[in-house]
Amino acid sequence: MAAKREVSGLEAHLGYWLRRVSNQVSHAFRLKVEACGVSVSEWVVLRELYRPEGASPGALAQSLGMTKGAVSKLVGRLEDKGLATRSPSEVDRRQQAVALTANGRALVPRLAHLADANDEEFFGHLPRPVRDELMRVLRELARTHHLDSAPID
């Protein structure tokens, strides 16, 4: 019955380590992509828009797990940089279609290589089975808690 005396430490929590490692990885990636003039989130949106259909801001927010407000600002920045365009939908004037410009499209493969390199830098030394298991677990966690989480906004 020493529960009252046991004050768990930071290192006891997976969430703590997750946050630290994630910050390290994202920070390193940020340094890589900023040479291309984009941020980590911008890369994510660009990659998501890479498929031919493009996407609406709402769909982006949904699939990327961020708020509408964040996506709105993100798309605005991409537009300012000449990497994406917004065009109003004709069937429903509330919606809009976001699409890559030629510049934006051309940038994605370069950024994808940087992402590959960053992953390799951080996780390349892990044995393949460990790496696969990590991927599996993270995907499962993302999926599991995405569903039962309160609608992201």
Partner DNA sequence: TGCAATCAGTTTCCGAGGAAACTATCATGA
Partner DNA sequence: TCATGATAGTTTCCTCGGAAACTGATTGCA
DSSP string, 116-153: HHHHHHHHTTS-HHHHHHHHHHHHHHHHHHHHSS----
24 binds, among its own copies, DNA, none (CB under 5 to 8 A by kind): its own copies
> CB-hemisphere CA count at 13 Å for 89?
13
Does residue number 15 form part of the binding site for its own copies (CB under 8 A)? yes
Write down the least CB distance from residue 127 to DNA, Å. Answer: 30
Does residue number 41 form part of the binding site for DNA (CB under 7 A)? yes
119 binds, among its own copies, DNA, none (CB under 5 to 8 A by kind): its own copies
Phi, psi of 107 (to 5 degrees): -75, -30
26 binds, among its own copies, DNA, none (CB under 5 to 8 A by kind): its own copies
Q: Which residues pair with 88 in a beta bridge?
A: 96
- Sole binder of its own copies in the list 13, 34, 69, 95 (CB under 8 A): 13
Chain positions 69 to 98 lying near its own copies, rule: CB under 8 A, are none
Phi, psi of 84 (to 5 degrees): -145, 165
Nearer to its own copies, 34 or 119 (CB): 119
Does residue number 24 form part of the binding site for its own copies (CB under 8 A)? yes
- Sole binder of DNA in the list 25, 32, 36, 40 (CB under 7 A): 40
Does residue number 68 form part of the binding site for its own copies (CB under 8 A)? no
Q: Site mask, its own copies, residues 110-139, x = CB under 8 A?
A: --x--xx-xx--xx-xx---xx-xxx-xxx
Q: How do beta strands 84-88 and 96-100 pair?
A: antiparallel
Phi, psi of 83 (to 5 degrees): -105, -15
Three-class SS state of 97: strand
Name the residue with tokens 């990327």: 64
